[in-house]
């Protein structure tokens, strides 16, 4: 087995696993952090972002100076996984673990050379589709003049005070709706614990990873090996079905990726900090802006938020603005099979798993597709707004930041650990609005990993190199992932794994077992030995041993001669042939050399080696060869 890492971000994995017969791509990374290099895309023109200067020395007028940082006023781009090192047409299957990974999928499947099949759980497909549609909608709403590529020169972008972390030459435009739809047609929906067999050679099964609705970890089994793959996983209580760790115990290799971006995370503290801030802001009649992804943690936040806001005043509206807001809410309520027991048991009452539909009916949660039309007429302050995108460059959030930016009573609360303020808030640093960061990170962190590994006991841990380098925890102590034995991989590198067992599992015809007559070679031997003969079918990668009798019923087949034991003498052979009324004579007999026996009637001769361990039948006619082979067999013992 070979593993190649195609992603430079351990929390956005993209790994190619090569087996002798099948190539499996694990997840499809797409880096959206690149968006922060671009100037925010406003929906309504903002004077603040229009009158910006550019550095004279380069003379590139689309590089805008803002708060001592530089931003590109061009169409924002993202960075998909780097596929140039691999043969895309050789990918047989793609396993997509969660909605974040699905977002990167079209960059792979919509290449003309892609021929594989994609597997993901039903909720990953549906919720992921919504996230993709939202992003697509945001991108389609952007009106920017085309710019040239001068800024992509190394000496330019590397000189930004806020220099991008990856090379902009690898960045690409986001896909369009048609590509998105085409891509999703290639995805096959599966259930947890449903085992799929590929080419009779590889079996894989998705198990809950506890991170999001439908998020998966994978078990990949070959004839001889069990490989576990951990994508974004959580061992905390959430609305999603808890992680099924027991299915990934004692793997031959366990691939660990997608750890928390905060080494020691405390999502509960973040949530209570967030609500404290919300309550204080609303009490002071300020507005609360929550830039957020349209699925995932926000389902929990709605339930807490309505509770909290109701305690202040039932008149304070809570808005959820997204082109796919309605679907995001409705879909969450149809996946009982994929939720925690507490949530899924509600359907037996029957009630919807999440309270948000009730909030919508009761007008406590108000849903709008965008800020135009009804929203602009109906909205009142103070209020709470959930909207995207958390990168603060595209989507409705840009508008709210510009609109509420001048009032210090307002607050924008960042919760997505993928978009921390030091990376995304640059263009807004000079605004009056408060910016708070309460990262709600539920993925496995460095303190949880050792416990999980202790429980899973993999025979080998494979992990991104980054996880073995110390990071600082809250208390300032160094945290690393250390397990024995472990091997690390990094972007662009290929690891070759020795194939552990050199045996393969073969289905055996019961008749062959019945024919087995095991005998001990020596009296006091505790082992018995017996020869077996048959035919092996390797058709369609399924290995099966068929007894001679059964095989011969099905086809005309060559004989499988039994192995012979012992030494042959010319005398024995002549005697045996004589019994069949065939005359034979020795024509050459020099001591220490081969003996040649001639059989005139069969137009043949048999050459016997000096030690009697080898015999050669020289003859033109296959029938006669058979007679002589039979005679030799009679003279000797079968193994």
Partner 1 sequence: MPKLRVVPLGAGQDVGRSCILISMGGKNIMLDCGMHMGYSDDRRFPDFSYISGGGPLNGFLDCVIISHFHLDHCGALPHMSEIVGYDGPIYMTYPTKAIVPVLLEDYRKVQTEFRGDTNFFTSQHIKQCMKKVIAVNLQEIVHVDNELTIQAFYAGHVLGAAMFLVTNGSESVLYTGDFNMTPDRHLGAAHVYPGLKPNLLITETTYATTIRDSKRARERDFLKKVHETVLDGGKVLIPVFALGRAQELCILLESYWERLDLKYPIYFSPGLAEKATKYYRLFINWTNEKIKKTFVERNMFDFKHIKPFDMTFADSKSPMVLFSTPGMLHGGQSLRVFKKWCTDPKNMIIMPGYCVAGTVGAKVINGMKKIEIDQRIYEINLRVEYMSFSAHADAKGIMQLIKDVEPKNVMFVHGEDQKMEFLKQKVEKESNLKVYKPANGETISIDTEPEIFVDIPENLLSKSISLDPTPSKRFCPFQACVVMEKQSKKFEIISAEEAAQHMGVQLHSVTFSEIIDVEEINWTKIAKKLRKYDPELQMKTDGIDLFNSEILLTNVDGESRQIEIIWDESRESWLSLLTEEITRKPVKVLNI
Map the footprint of partner 1 across residues 485-524, applying CB under 8 A.
501-508, 510, 513, 516, 518, 520-522
If the CB atoms of residues 326 and 409 are measured against partner 1, the closer one turns out to be 326
Does 284 participate in binding partner 1 (rule CB under 8 A)?
no
Q: In whole angstroms, what is the distance from residue 144 CA to residue 19 CA?
A: 45
The candidate with the shortest Cα–Cα distance to 151, out of 73, 91, 46, 225, is 73
The candidate with the shortest Cα–Cα distance to 586, out of 574, 603, 576, 578, is 574
Q: In whole angstroms, what is the distance from residue 571 CA to residue 521 CA?
A: 28
**Pick from 9, 251, 619, 627: which binds partner 1 (CB under 8 A)?**
619
If the CB atoms of residues 284 and 531 are measured against partner 1, the closer one turns out to be 531
**Pick from 568, 574, 582, 595: which binds partner 1 (CB under 8 A)?**
568
DSSP SS3 for 117: strand
If the CB atoms of residues 51 and 521 are measured against partner 1, the closer one turns out to be 521
Give yes or no for a contact between 77 and 168, defined as CB atoms under 8 angstroms apart. Answer: yes
In order of 214, 415, 495, 626, the CA distances from 132 in angstroms are 16, 20, 32, 71
Stretch of residues binding partner 1 (CB under 8 A), selected from 11-19, 392-400, 543-551, 580-588: 543-551
**Pick from 88, 460, 487, 551: which binds partner 1 (CB under 8 A)?**
551
CB of 556 to partner 1, least distance (A): 10
If the CB atoms of residues 352 and 445 are measured against partner 1, the closer one turns out to be 352
Q: Give the CA dihedral 331, 419, 154, 67, nearest 10 degrees.
A: 130
Stretch of residues binding partner 1 (CB under 8 A), selected from 150-158, 228-236, 254-262, 551-559: 551-559
**Pick from 534, 574, 602, 627: which binds partner 1 (CB under 8 A)?**
534
Give yes or no for a contact between 294 and 324, defined as CB atoms under 8 angstroms apart. Answer: yes
**Pick from 312, 549, 565, 610: which binds partner 1 (CB under 8 A)?**
565
If the CB atoms of residues 259 and 568 are measured against partner 1, the closer one turns out to be 568
CB of 239 to partner 1, least distance (A): 15
The H or E element containing residue 193 is none
**Pick from 2, 193, 311, 494: which binds partner 1 (CB under 8 A)?**
193
Does 201 participate in binding partner 1 (rule CB under 8 A)?
no
- List binders of partner 1 among 327-346 (CB under 8 A): 327, 330-331, 333-338, 344
If the CB atoms of residues 563 and 578 are measured against partner 1, the closer one turns out to be 563
If the CB atoms of residues 284 and 538 are measured against partner 1, the closer one turns out to be 538
The sign of the CA dihedral 435, 440, 443, 444 is positive
My answer on whether omega of the bond before 145 falls inside 30° of 0, hence cis, is: no
**Pick from 32, 355, 391, 545: which binds partner 1 (CB under 8 A)?**
545
- How many alpha carbons fall within 13 Å on the CB side of residue 177? 8
Stretch of residues binding partner 1 (CB under 8 A), selected from 192-200, 209-217, 250-258, 412-420: 192-200
If the CB atoms of residues 50 and 351 are measured against partner 1, the closer one turns out to be 351
Q: In whole angstroms, what is the distance from residue 467 CA to residue 490 CA?
A: 10
Stretch of residues binding partner 1 (CB under 8 A), selected from 385-393, 398-406, 443-451, 613-621: 613-621
Neighbour-count burial for 4-33, b at 16+ CB within 10 Å, e otherwise: bbbbbbbbbbbbbbbbeebbbbbbbbbbbb
Find the length of the chain.
Answer: 639
- List binders of partner 1 among 342-381 (CB under 8 A): 344, 347-348, 350, 352
Does 122 participate in binding partner 1 (rule CB under 8 A)?
yes
Q: 389 φ, ψ to 5°?
A: -105, 150
**Pick from 87, 538, 549, 587: which binds partner 1 (CB under 8 A)?**
538
In order of 119, 121, 308, 312, the CA distances from 200 in angstroms are 17, 22, 55, 61
Q: 488 φ, ψ to 5°?
A: -115, 155
Q: In whole angstroms, what is the distance from residue 102 CA to residue 400 CA?
A: 28
CB of 54 to partner 1, least distance (A): 45
CB of 622 to partner 1, least distance (A): 8
**Pick from 462, 546, 570, 577: which binds partner 1 (CB under 8 A)?**
546
DSSP secondary structure code for residue 49 in this structure: H
- List binders of partner 1 among 151-190 (CB under 8 A): 190
If the CB atoms of residues 205 and 235 are measured against partner 1, the closer one turns out to be 205
The H or E element containing residue 240 is none
Tokens of residue 90, six digits: 């050789």
Stretch of residues binding partner 1 (CB under 8 A), selected from 281-289, 415-423, 579-587, 606-614: 606-614
Q: In whole angstroms, what is the distance from residue 463 CA to residue 446 CA?
A: 13
If the CB atoms of residues 14 and 206 are measured against partner 1, the closer one turns out to be 206
CB of 582 to partner 1, least distance (A): 18
**DSSP class per residue in 472-491:** E-TTS-EE----SSEEEE-T
Does 142 participate in binding partner 1 (rule CB under 8 A)?
no
Q: 386 φ, ψ to 5°?
A: -100, 125
Stretch of residues binding partner 1 (CB under 8 A), selected from 99-107, 361-369, 406-414, 565-573: 565-573
> Which positions ≥6 away from 621 have C-beta within 8 Å?
602, 603, 604
Size of the site for partner 1 (CB under 8 A): 84
CB of 593 to partner 1, least distance (A): 16
* E runs forming strands in 56-132: 63-66, 69-72, 79-80, 93-95, 117-121
Give yes or no for a contact between 478 and 470, defined as CB atoms under 8 angstroms apart. Answer: yes
CB of 638 to partner 1, least distance (A): 10
If the CB atoms of residues 428 and 535 are measured against partner 1, the closer one turns out to be 535
CB of 372 to partner 1, least distance (A): 20
CB of 331 to partner 1, least distance (A): 8
CB of 592 to partner 1, least distance (A): 19
Residue 315: count other Cβ atoms within 10 Å of its Cβ: 10
CB of 483 to partner 1, least distance (A): 28
Does 610 participate in binding partner 1 (rule CB under 8 A)?
no
Does 4 participate in binding partner 1 (rule CB under 8 A)?
no
Does 587 participate in binding partner 1 (rule CB under 8 A)?
no
């Amino acid at each position: 087995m070979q593993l190649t890492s195609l992603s430079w971000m351990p929390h956005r994995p993209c790994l190619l696993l090569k087996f002798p017969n099948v190539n499996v791509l694990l997840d499809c990374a797409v880096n959206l952090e690149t968006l922060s290099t671009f100037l925010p895309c406003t929906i309504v023109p903002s004077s603040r972002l229009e009158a910006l200067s550019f550095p004279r020395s380069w003379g590139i007028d689309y590089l805008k100076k803002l708060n001592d940082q530089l931003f590109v006023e061009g169409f924002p781009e993202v960075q998909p996984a780097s596929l140039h090192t691999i043969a895309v047409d050789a990918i047989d299957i793609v396993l997509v673990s969660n909605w974040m990974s699905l977002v990167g999928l079209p960059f792979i499947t919509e290449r003309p050379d892609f021929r594989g099949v994609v597997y993901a759980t039903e909720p990953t497909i549906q919720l992921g589709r919504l996230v993709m549609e939202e992003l697509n909608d945001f991108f389609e709403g952007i009106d920017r003049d085309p710019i040239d590529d001068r800024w992509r020169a190394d000496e330019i972008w590397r000189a930004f005070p806020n220099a991008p972390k990856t090379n902009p030459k690898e960045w690409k435009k986001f896909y369009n709706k048609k590509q998105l739809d085409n891509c999703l047609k290639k995805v096959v929906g599966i259930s947890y614990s449903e085992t799929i067999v590929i080419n009779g050679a590889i079996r894989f099964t998705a198990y809950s990873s506890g991170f999001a609705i439908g998020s998966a970890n994978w078990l990949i089994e070959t004839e001889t090996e069990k490989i576990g793959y951990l994508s974004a996983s959580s061992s905390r209580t959430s609305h999603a079905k808890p992680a099924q760790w027991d299915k990934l115990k004692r793997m031959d290799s366990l691939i660990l990726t997608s750890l928390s971006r905060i080494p020691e995370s405390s999502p509960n503290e973040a949530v209570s900090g967030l609500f404290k801030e919300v309550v204080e802001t609303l009490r002071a009649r300020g507005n609360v802006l929550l830039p957020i992804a349209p699925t995932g943690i926000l389902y929990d936040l709605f339930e807490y938020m309505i509770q909290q806001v109701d305690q202040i005043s039932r008149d304070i509206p809570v808005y959820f603005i997204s082109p796919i807001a309605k679907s995001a809410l409705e879909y969450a309520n149809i996946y009982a099979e994929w939720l925690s027991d507490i949530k899924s048991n509600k359907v037996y009452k029957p009630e919807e798993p999440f309270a948000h539909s009730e909030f919508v009916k009761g007008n406590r949660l108000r849903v709008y597709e965008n800020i135009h039309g009804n929203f602009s007429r109906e909205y009142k302050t103070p209020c709470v707004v959930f909207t995207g995108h958390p990168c603060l460059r595209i989507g409705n959030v840009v508008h709210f930041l510009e609109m509420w930016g001048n009032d210090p009573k307002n607050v924008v609360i960042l919760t997505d650990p993928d978009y921390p303020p030091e990376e995304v808030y640059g263009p807004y640093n000079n605004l009056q609005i408060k910016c708070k960061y309460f990262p709600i990170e539920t993925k496995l962190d460095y303190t949880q990993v050792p416990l999980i590994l202790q429980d899973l006991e993999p025979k080998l841990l494979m992990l991104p190199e980054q996880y073995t380098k110390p990071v600082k925890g809250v208390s300032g102590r160094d945290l690393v992932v250390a397990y024995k034995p472990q091997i690390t991989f990094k972007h662009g590198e290929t690891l070759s794994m020795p194939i552990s067992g050199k045996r393969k599992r073969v289905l055996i015809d019961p008749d062959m077992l019945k024919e087995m007559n095991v005998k001990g070679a020596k009296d006091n031997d505790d082992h018995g030995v017996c020869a077996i003969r048959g035919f092996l079918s390797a058709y369609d990668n399924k290995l099966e041993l068929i007894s001679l009798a059964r095989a011969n019923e099905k086809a005309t087949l060559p004989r499988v001669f039994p192995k012979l034991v012992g030494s042959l003498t010319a005398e024995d052979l002549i005697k045996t042939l004589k019994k069949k009324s065939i005359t034979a004579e020795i024509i050459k007999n020099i001591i220490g050399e081969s003996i040649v026996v001639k059989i005139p009637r069969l137009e043949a001769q048999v050459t016997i080696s000096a030690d009697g361990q080898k015999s050669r039948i020289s003859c033109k006619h296959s029938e006669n060869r058979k007679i002589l082979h039979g005679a030799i067999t009679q003279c000797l013992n079968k193994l």
